[in-house]
Amino acid sequence: MNKNKIIVYLTALMVAFGYNSCDEDNVDLDPTGVTEQAYFSEEIEFERAVFGAYAKLSDFYWYNASQFNCVQPVTLLPGDDVTTTAQEEFEDFAGLNPGSGRIAYFYTAIYQLIARSNVVLEKNEQVAAGIYKTAGLKEAHRGEALFLRAYGHYLLWNLFGTAPVRTQRLASLADAKPGSSTGTALLDQAITDLTEAATLLPSSWSDINRGRITANAANGLLGKCLVFRATVSASNADYTAAIAAFDKISGVSLVPQFDDNFAADTENNAESLFEFQASQAFGGDNPWLPNDFDNPIGALSVFWGFYDGHWSLFGKAPFIATQKLANMYEPDDPRKSLTLNAGNLAIRKYVTRDRLNQPGQSSVNNPRILRLADVLLLKAEALVESGGATAQAIDLINQVRARARGAGVSPANRDNTVSDRAVIRQWIMDERLMELAGEGQRWFDLRRWALGGKLSLNNDFFSSANPGQMAFSAPKHLNFPIPTVETDVNPNITQNTGY
């Protein structure tokens, strides 16, 4: 969605009836407000419903989410790339419990994203002939909703593992208490949705709609979900399917400058597959209010203040790079200075080339959710783990390293004659750490590799990156707890092991 485009949110459709028992003429009055039945009668109303689903992504990034300043710690702090000197439940795992406000907020926001997507899908299926005037838009809307629903299930699996799968909107009280999923059911649903979405979405959008989900985005996330599932199931078929999905991505390339992937002036570039389109509500961005507060007022912006220690943290410690991350780069690797400040380990991504609506609290610098470098490394991993050509896998790693060094000499190419798959696997793990640090990817990687037996997560592993008191315990902390707000009202939910 283009930032300059006026975004109208579909938040709730309420019915107001006038009633007068003394006057029979008043019994059959038309509703005074818009009903759901009457609403979906024009193409533009379906467009607004889709935008309403997109808008829910802001809950993962805005400043005052759930009155905790932000909820990004849920994805940023559990890994070994980002740390903080403060005591944080997602940093040391000691305080991680079902009563966490941030976990409850994140969990609820994901299901709201899924619910909005399900409404779009239902109405899209039921739409009368002739409502859609624009060729291909009905199919594109379905593809967008399927992608967003899949992204919600992808997040749920990576954070909670066993949360319910939701593919229908809530229609009765009996539907309000679903049971927990098992195994990879959340990923399975995401893969099903993305497989269809990739056949429906356009290869590109017009400039005014730049940033909307494309077939490339669907194939990229599809391949990622397949690699994640294969990591824990050791399925060669999934790795092969992931490679096939990645091979369908076209018309994209690594941008020459690494830091163009985190700058406000180079958003939606040739490397980007999917970004949250940070913006400003047309009545004014308010970082203290969610975008559901009112149509013209609310937060569509993003908060990056935890990286630069802005006053809006109100004294809380900023997030910084781990010494492990700093030590991982070769001294002359340009990514090091573009990712962190070697002196104080301050993270520079998204900060040094930011653009703010309100300094410190409201940024319109898009979070990059999926980009080509991520995909290339995942494809390399799929080749290595499925018995594919090791030279091809190393060449993919080297594409990422070549872009990183630019006209310099570091990081040098990996030797593509190496055939030891364990060595190449470690190269991929290391490259993903250096390339994607601070982007909210690392914990998802560590978790899946641990579940798949590719590495061992324990207190020693985390203490080497985050010196201090750690309370990590596997398998307990490989899944976050299902929040109390869910288990208190749904007896069919099974709390994750250890909580």
Average pLDDT, rounded, for the chain:
91
Q: Which of 84-93, 129-138, 469-478 has the highest mean pLDDT?
A: 129-138
Q: What is the pTM of this model?
A: 0.93
Q: Are 480 and 456 in contact (CB under 8 A)?
A: no
* 33, 307, 333, 372 from 438: Cα distances, Å: 46, 9, 17, 16
Q: Quick check: is 478 in a domain?
A: no
Nearest-angstrom CA–CA distance, 338 and 334: 6
Q: Are 367 and 61 in contact (CB under 8 A)?
A: yes
Q: Are 476 and 459 in contact (CB under 8 A)?
A: no
Cα angle, residue 306 at apex, residues 60 and 261 outer, rounded to 5° = 70
**Diameter over CA atoms, the chain:** 89
Spell out the residues 6+ positions from residue 153 whose beta carbon is closer than 8 angstroms to its own.
114, 165, 186, 187, 189, 190, 193
Query: 370 falls in which pLDDT band (50, 70, 90)?
Result: very high
Q: Quick check: is 203 in a domain?
A: yes
Range of the domain at 311: 24-466
Could you tell me whether strands 298-299 and 319-321 are parallel, antiparallel, or unpaired per DSSP bridges?
unpaired
Residue 370 structure tokens: 């999926």
Q: Quick check: is 71 in a domain?
A: yes
The CB density around residue 376, as the number of other CB atoms within 10 Å, is 23
pLDDT digits (tens, 9 = 90+) for 302-357: 999 999 888 888 888 999 999 999 999 999 999 999 999 999 999 999 999 998 86
Nearest-angstrom CA–CA distance, 303 and 307: 9
pLDDT digits (tens, 9 = 90+) for 278-310: 998 888 888 999 998 777 899 999 999 999 888
Q: Quick check: is 3 in a domain?
A: no
Q: Are 111 and 353 in contact (CB under 8 A)?
A: no
pLDDT digits (tens, 9 = 90+) for 402-444: 999 999 999 999 999 999 999 999 999 999 999 999 999 999 9
Q: Quick check: is 479 in a domain?
A: no
Q: Quick check: is 7 in a domain?
A: no
| DSSP three-state, residue 458 | coil
Q: Are 261 and 439 in contact (CB under 8 A)?
A: no
Q: For 261-283, what is the mean pLDDT? A: 95
The CATH code of the domain that includes 304 is 1.25.40.390
**CA of residue 297 relative to chain centroid, distance:** 24
pLDDT over 50 at 210, yes or no = yes
Q: Quick check: is 1 in a domain?
A: no
Number of domains in the chain: 1
Residue 303 structure tokens: 């908060």
Q: Quick check: is 388 in a domain?
A: yes
